[in-house]
Amino acid sequence: MSRFALLAFVVGLGALSGCSKQSTDTELAASIAALEQAVAEAEREVERLKDFDAIENLSSVYGHYVDESMQDDIADLFAADGIVEILGRGVFYGQDRVRQYMHNLGPVGQQDGRLFNHMHLQPVIHVAEDGQTASARSRLFVMFGIVNANAQWGSGIYENEFVKQDGVWKLRYLHGYQTFYTNYEDGWAKRSSAIFAPYERLPPDGPQSVPYDPYPAAFVPPFHYPNPVTGRMDHYGRPQPPPE
């Protein structure tokens, strides 16, 4: 090979490898950027899956605490501006009023001779895209009793809202709709209580957000979500209590 030919070859090789190194670096940087983006998306998706479980746990925890009349623990599940609205008892604004509401239900802790089971079942959970709020429809099934005196069934629907504050999910608005309350002897087709009125000893801050009569009247508690398959909006609604 002549000296000139060799020089040309070397220059060519140099140009080639230089070019290819440069383009390899660019490609690498691009694929690392794509990888980082995909990692961020996966992190968000996993976070929302954890949020879903956290909402399910929080709903279940609420039910277990009510069973045991753990009034302060129940109130602690609420955000500072949390709202409670149960049956026809009216609306209570803020965690302090939630605490009063819970204490009004009876003395703290399980009592001899008193059954207060509040099964919290069947959650349909939706976490907002930004992962900061969530909603859940769930079912209440109550077995209430005073031994040798009173035994009752209760059934209802919750449409609850949640907020994530400093990484912790809290109840923002607990809204329980009354389906029926009846006593054990009669069952639900012989007897069904009218909507439970506000407590005289603890008047609410505001009236209930949705006026309705429970079973045997026909009433559909609004769904916080459209039909999950078609998006049909019948019976969709997110009623909010009036501003405080």
Partner 1 sequence: MSLRLVVATLLFAPCSVLQAQDLAARVAAAQGRLAAIEQRAERVADVNEIENLQRSYGYYVDKMLWEHVVDLFSDDATMEIGLSGVYVGKDNIRRYLYSLSNGGEGPLEGVLYDHFQLQPIVTVADDGETAKGRWRALLMTGTYGSGSGGNWGEGPYENEYVQEEGVWKISKLHWYATYYVPYEGGWLNSSADAVRAYSEGRGVTADQPPSEQYSPYPAAFVPPFHYPNPVSGQ
Residues of the shown chain interacting with partner 1 in the complex, contacts defined by CB under 8 A: 3, 6-7, 10, 13-14, 17-18, 20-21, 24-25, 27-28, 31-32, 34-35, 38-39, 41-42, 45-46, 49, 52, 121-126, 137, 139, 141, 155, 157, 179-180, 186-190, 192, 215-220, 223, 227-230, 232, 234-235
- 64 class by beta-carbon count within 10 Å (0-12 exposed, 13-18 middle, 19+ buried): middle
Residue 202 beta carbon to partner 1: minimum distance, rounded to whole angstroms: 30
In the complex, the smallest distance separating the C-beta of residue 126 from partner 1, rounded to whole angstroms, is 8
Q: Which amino acid is at 54?
A: A
Which C-beta is closer to partner 1: that of 78 or that of 177? 177
Report the C-alpha gap between 6 and 176 in whole angstroms: 87
Map the chain to HEC letters: CCHHHHHHHHHHHHHHHHHHHHHHHHHHHHHHHHHHHHHHHHHHHHHHHHHHHHHHHHHHHHHHHHHCCCHHHHHHCEEEEEEEEECCCCEEECHHHHHHHHHHCCCCCCCCCEEEEEEEEEEEEEECCCCCEEEEEEEEEEEEEECCCEEEEEEEEEEEEEEEECCEEEEEEEEEEEEEEEECCCCCCCCCCCCCCCCCCCCCCECCCCCCCCCCCCCCCCECCCCCCCCCCCCECCCCCCCC
Which of 39, 197 has the CB closer to partner 1? 39
Write down the least CB distance from residue 27 to partner 1, Å.
7
Residue type (1 letter), 225: Y
* Cβ proximity to partner 1, 95 vs 179, nearer residue: 179
**Closest approach of partner 1 to the CB of residue 158, in Å:** 11
CB closer to partner 1 out of 80 and 218: 218
We find the least distance from the C-beta atom of residue 144 to partner 1, in angstroms, to be 16
Cβ proximity to partner 1: between 155 and 160 the closer is 155
Q: Which is nearer to partner 1, 184 or 199 (CB)?
A: 184
Closest approach of partner 1 to the CB of residue 168, in Å: 21
Q: Which is nearer to partner 1, 37 or 132 (CB)?
A: 37
